[in-house]
Chains A and B, each alone.
Chain A
Amino acid sequence: MTEATSFPMANGLSEHAAGAGTPPRGGRAWKFGDHVDTDAIIPARHCNTADPRALAAHCMEDADPGFAAAVRPGDVIVGGVNFGCGSSREVAPIAIKAAGVSAVIAASFARIFFRNAINLGLPILECPAAAAAIDAGHIVEVTPATGAIFDRTTGETYQAEPFPDFLMQIIAAGGLLNYAQARLTERR
């Protein structure tokens, strides 16, 4: 049994995109356009809480009001350029993660959203070709550790930009908090 099949996968996905000892994850693609801002991801009127479940209930509300009710665990968000632009609100990636989204694929990410996703361990994949070609409803599998993207609906595969080693350390630690914990221990 491979490591990939030892993990339960949403929607009975194949092992196609597996690699580097981490299982693929995925589900249906939800397609959005360019410059999806954090007000669209989680409107400020719902930011008077830090409870992930409460935030998830309004995830993507101003971009697609039906999203929060219909999204299933494992589903994938596909955006265009500059995904997550606007405010620094970390509740944006928190809401996406709490909604069960397994990864965000985009042509490019706005910088604060990018660092928040790395820090929180929300898998993000920067891949213009995949972002352009994957349509709403396609079944998509991603392997965050390798950047492999597989569109099961079309059979196409894509490779996202690899992360620099520095960021891989944060990702491998399980997020910035664990990374910081190790640095704090190191200092003492």
Chain B
Amino acid sequence: MGQNIAEKILAAHAGRVSVRPGEFLNASVDLVLASELSGVVALREFERIEGARIFDPDKVVFVFDHFTPNKDIASAEIVRECRAFALRTGIRYYDVGRAGIQHVLLPEQGLVSPGDIVAGADSHTCTYGALGAFGTGVGSTDAAVAMALGELWLRVPESIKVVYHGHLRPWVTAKDVIIHTIGILGVDGARYQAIEFAGEAIQAIDMAGRLTMANMAIEAGAKTGLIAPDDITRAFVEKAGGRLDRLYASDPDAEYARVIDVDVSDLEPMVAIPYLPENAREASTLGDVTIDQVVIGMCTNGNLADLRQAAAVLAGHKVHPRVRTIIIPGSQAVYLAALREGLIETFVEANCVVSTPTCGPCLGGHMGVLASGERCVSTSNRNFHGRMGHIDSQVYLASPAVAAAAAIAGRIVPPDAIDMVDETAFVAAKEPRHD
């Protein structure tokens, strides 16, 4: 009986030749991850385990990204406690100035490699599936125990294979593909399961786009969202300094709970309307949805290619006078590269503000909290009630290109509704570049 990628990775980490869906096992982990919010709970739990030592300080990483730079005194105290723990135990940690948003930072730093299991006390740890790694979101107690034992309890998931056919049209991106996919699956359509993204359309998507797609696997309820490593993966991991010794692919006779075929050739720029990511709509069909704020970047779309996409639309334009537009590069390296390429200049000239890397506005923390009745187009991943602020505010999820177009128009429109000054910039962004 053939095995799929998820099963192969789990078997290899449980000392087994093969595993079957539904089995429970203790799997060894290659990396344990926490933010300051989940980390402070994890470290306190860790300290309750008598005689516990960090199983491998090189395999535990704290990234201070949610409420940093510290938004208030309580957040500052939490970060201080996490920092002190990191210094005391010798684990890796990333603080303001060297940090980024976890799911942009870790792949870029070469801390995640194909075939790894990453136990992250952050639900979007599934992002690493883009590299062919079994990244999965867990709780803080899970992280504490993984820090002590180097292992994680898991139920072997059934897998859903989504096979993408055809070629994406101009201005249609990985974000549109994943919003469309969640629209098909529903927000609990892959609950307790793994998703495997496959097909020729995936092979044509660059690493930034793949990271976007895998990032949102959790929004269909999934444990992880895997893409088989290929040349794009190899080039990215090599440049980042990761390992390339565990490249798993599904066997031809691997089993799936479902196989879904999606033709992306006619796909249009998409938006997920409030209050669930499954509410997928074509941007062109929304009518007159006026907006107050746009946020571009963050863990879902915070890579350089994403910022290029937004800059290509914004170049030569001004943000609508009624709209605040906040750009959030995913890491210091992305910020610097965007600066050197002139993207930051494009944003500032268009009347956007450019923030330090932070999760802040995505979860209504800081750097762009919404008032009651306000409406935001965001390139993040969740549009629940009150997600970005007041319970009566609204979030529309979209690609950087759609978000940038909305910033200019003051309402939700597809990118081709905006007169482009420099369409070639977007073409460049679509090339499989790995910086």
Contact = CB atoms under 8 A, between A and B. Distances in A.
Interface of A: 35, 37, 39-40, 43-45, 47-50, 62, 81-82, 85-91, 93-94, 108, 110-112, 115-116, 119-120, 164, 166-167, 170, 175-177, 179-181, 183-185, 188
A110 B138 contact: no
A101 B138 CA distance: 22
A169 to B, nearest CB: 9
A177 B382 contact: no
**Closest 9 A/B residue pairs (Cβ):** A166-B24, A116-B139, A48-B74, A44-B363, A82-B188, A90-B139, A88-B123, A90-B140, A180-B145
A149 to B, nearest CB: 21
A72 to B, nearest CB: 24
Nearest to B23: A166
20 contacts: A40-B385, A43-B364, A48-B67, A48-B72, A48-B74, A62-B386, A86-B123, A89-B37, A90-B38, A90-B140, A110-B188, A110-B191, A110-B221, A111-B221, A112-B137, A115-B139, A115-B142, A175-B141, A176-B141, A177-B141
Contacts of A94: 41
A111 B191 CA distance: 7
A176 B142 contact: yes
B365 A45 contact: yes
Nearest to B123: A88
Contact of A40 (B37, B187, B223, B386): B386
B139 A88 contact: yes
Interface residues on B, range: 35 or more
Given A50-B44, A62-B391, A82 B191 contact: yes
Contacts of A170: 153
Contact of A87 (B145, B192, B363): B363
A108 B364 CA distance: 27
A87 B385 contact: no
Contact of A119 (B50, B139, B191): B139
A45 B369 CA distance: 10
B141 A120 contact: yes
Nearest to A51: B74
Interface of B: 24, 37-38, 40-41, 44-45, 48-52, 66-67, 71-72, 74-75, 78, 120-123, 125, 137-142, 144-145, 148-149, 153, 155, 187-188, 191-192, 221, 223, 276, 363-365, 382, 384-387, 391
| Residue among B45, B140, B141 with max Cβ neighbours from chain A (10 Å) | B141
Given A88-B121, A119-B141, A180-B49, 10 more contacts: A35-B276, A39-B384, A85-B188, A88-B123, A89-B37, A90-B141, A115-B138, A120-B141, A180-B145, A180-B149
Contact of B221 (A62, A82, A164, A176): A82
A39 B141 contact: no
A87 B386 contact: no
Contacts of A93: 139
B141 A48 contact: no
B24 A167 contact: yes
Contacts of A87: 122-123, 363
B188 A177 contact: no
Contacts of B149: 180, 183-184
